[in-house]
């Protein structure tokens, strides 16, 4: 018996609710299987869905209830209006990181008198920050680093697909940047305390890479190290920006104030009113 898109979607929504998953995942999977954007899918809701698409969709739905994130099943995530490849080697880009980029651009415009700046994205993961910065402001010279060879391979794949001229380097924190100077340093490092693991969704803890999620010293170690190291690789006028966990604003801003006492350091909240970003503006 032929089923319409809406009938298949209703089955999946109920199936996900029954297994404790977000029902919105059903629409995302259907958009992927049918290769339709949201508007096109809404218009096709009462049309018959081809049997092979139904079978593919149901297989993906059953995979998702095991806890595997939708983005790893489809292999893509939308970020800043572009599609990025994602797999288990990288974190799935979050909407809050789009806010991070918007905030960085606003401060760069205020702080510098040119677009031809050198930018480093430390711990690039999928490459979402580095690639978006380059594509949105092509005059930038962007270098992206990561400790994971697998993550860098994914980032390079995204840069190639999106035709972004970004340089990628393997290494820990500022080590791959030694001996150079940058105008802008951005980083979204691992920042979750290991003690928080037990309160997190299994969709995250059992599938996304722990090396990109968790960090020692209650999730603060990499911010402390960045604050200690970054002074050696920045110009006299510079912008440093890091994405943080919502309880870390006070600690992370203190690291940067200690190392850059004359800088303007601010904690920025995300759209949900939670501390999410620390920016450090350094001027002579």
List binding-site positions for S-adenosyl-L-methionine. 123-127, 146, 188
Q: What is the three-class DSSP state of 104?
A: helix
DSSP state of 206: T
| Cα–Cα distance, 145 to 152 (Å, whole number) | 8
DSSP secondary structure, 234-272, as one string: EEEEEEEEEE--TT-HHHHHHHHHHH-TTSEEEEEE-TT
| Cα–Cα distance, 42 to 242 (Å, whole number) | 38
Which residues are known binding-site members for substrate? 188-191
Who's near 28: CB < 8 A, 6+ residues apart? 70, 74
Please say whether the dihedral angle defined by the alpha carbons of residues 224, 229, 233 and 235, taken in this order, is positive or negative: positive
Which residues are known binding-site members? 123-127, 146, 188-191
| Cα–Cα distance, 58 to 233 (Å, whole number) | 51
Phi first, then psi, for residue 122 (nearest 5°) are -95, 120
Q: Helices marked H in 65-162 — which ranges?
A: 70-74, 95-111, 128-136, 149-162
Who's near 218: CB < 8 A, 6+ residues apart? 193, 195
């Amino acid at each position: 018996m032929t089923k319409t898109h809406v009938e298949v979607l209703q089955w999946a929504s109920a199936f996900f609710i029954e297994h404790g998953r977000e029902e919105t995942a059903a629409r995302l999977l259907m958009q992927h299987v049918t290769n339709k954007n949201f508007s096109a899918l809404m218009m096709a809701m009462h049309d018959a869905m081809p049997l092979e698409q139904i079978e593919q969709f149901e297989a993906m739905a059953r995979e998702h209830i095991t806890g595997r994130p939708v983005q790893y099943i489809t292999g893509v995530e939308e970020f800043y209006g572009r599609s990025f490849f994602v797999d288990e080697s990288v974190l799935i880009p979050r909407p809050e990181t789009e806010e991070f980029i918007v905030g960085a651009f606003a401060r760069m415009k205020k702080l510098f008198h040119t677009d031809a700046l050198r930018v480093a994205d430390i711990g690039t993961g999928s490459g979402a920050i580095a690639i978006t910065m380059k594509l949105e402001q092509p005059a930038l010279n962007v270098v992206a680093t990561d400790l994971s060879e697998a993550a860098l391979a994914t980032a390079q794949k995204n840069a190639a697909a999106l035709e972004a001229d970004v340089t990628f380097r393997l290494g820990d924190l500022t080590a791959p940047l030694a001996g150079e100077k940058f105008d802008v340093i951005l980083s979204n490092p691992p920042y979750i305390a290991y003690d928080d693991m037990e309160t997190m969704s299994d969709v995250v803890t059992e599938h996304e890479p722990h090396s990109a999620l968790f960090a020692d010293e209650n999730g603060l170690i990499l911010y402390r190290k960045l604050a200690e190291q970054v002074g050696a690789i920045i110009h006299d006028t510079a912008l440093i920006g890091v994405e943080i966990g919502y309880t870390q604003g006070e600690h992370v801003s203190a690291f940067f104030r200690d190392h850059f006492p004359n800088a303007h350091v601010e904690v920025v909240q995300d759209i949900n009113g939670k501390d999410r970003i620390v920016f450090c503006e350094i001027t002579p």
